[in-house]
Amino acid sequence: MSNPKKNIENVRIDYDKSLIDFKSIDKSPFDLFDKWIEQAFVVDKENANAFVLSTVSNNMIPSSRVVLMRGFSEKGLVFYTNYDSNKSKDILSNNNVSVNFFWPQLEKQIRIIGKVEKISAKESDEYFKNRPLESKFGAIISDQSSEISLNYDFSKKLNILKTDNKTKSPKRPNNWGGFRVVISYFEFWQGRPSRLHDRLCYTLDSNEWKISRKSP
């Protein structure tokens, strides 16, 4: 079997599936986001809402991980997590974050910059109530990002929790809930031939979206 690492510098894709029509662009980045996310769900409904969230700790160490978008409006982008996790600790010490969606089937990418705020307990309760039961158990049991032994077994905790909640749905734990990324910048990237990619930017300035284009 050949070693793919030997040829990695020669892997090439010529992007040619679409383009951004700069003569007819949406005035609102949220409208364009809606159009692109709809296209993404058509080609990959299981992963269309997955994005890379990048944070920086109070020691100025960057971290990135994939999370799932669970809501989007002009108020911002919503995701849920354990408030004791490393990502939450980063956010609580420095709420500036970067978000990146990439849909290779569409040759599209959206980069977002914003500040994170906690959503209300009511919103988190409402979302938690509608989660699958097994997902609720997972949120309650997991001390996310804490160090555990290599052979740690969650089954005992899980079985106890299932027994205690045979006749009722568990409540949301206080250390689990939602965050909202309040967006100040969008960059819509469309792959183009010869690496001359389209880059359409929206920057929030005095409550208005200023539109610009960047060189590839």
The first and second tokens of residue 161, run together, are: 């929790």
- Residue among 197, 169, 173, 196 at smallest CA distance from 111: 197
**Nearest Cα residue to 164 out of 156, 153, 152, 176:** 156
For the chain, 216 residues long, give each residue's pLDDT as a single digit of tens.
567 666 888 888 889 999 999 999 999 999 999 999 999 999 999 999 999 999 999 999 999 999 999 999 999 999 999 999 999 999 999 999 999 999 999 999 999 999 999 999 999 999 999 999 989 999 999 888 888 889 888 888 888 888 877 657 899 999 999 999 999 999 999 999 999 999 999 999 999 999 999 999
CA angle 31, 37, 42 (to 5 degrees): 135
- Asked if 110 contacts 190 with a C-beta cutoff of 8 angstroms, the reply is no
Question: CA–CA separation, 128 vs 139, rounded Å?
Answer: 9
Percent helix, percent strand, percent coil in the chain, to nearest 5: 30, 35, 40
Whether 195 and 216 have beta carbons less than 8 Å apart is answered as yes
Catalytic residue among 65, 70, 195, 213: 195
Residue count of the chain: 216
The reported pLDDT for the residue numbered 67 is 98
Residues 6+ away with beta carbon under 8 Å from 154: 141, 142
CB 184 within 8 A of CB 105: no
- In sequence order, what E strands does the chain have? 50-56, 62-68, 71-73, 76-82, 96-103, 108-118, 176-190, 198-205, 208-213
CA–CA separation, 127 vs 34, rounded Å? 21
155: three-class secondary structure by DSSP: helix
d(CA 205, CA 215): 21
Is the Cβ–Cβ distance between 42 and 27 less than 8 Å? no
All structural domains of the chain: 15-127+174-213 (2.30.110.10)
Distance of CA 168 to the CA centre of its chain: 31
Per-residue model confidence (pLDDT) at position 145: 85
Q: What pLDDT does 2 receive?
A: 64
Quote the pLDDT of residue 81.
Answer: 97
> Is 195 assigned a catalytic role?
yes
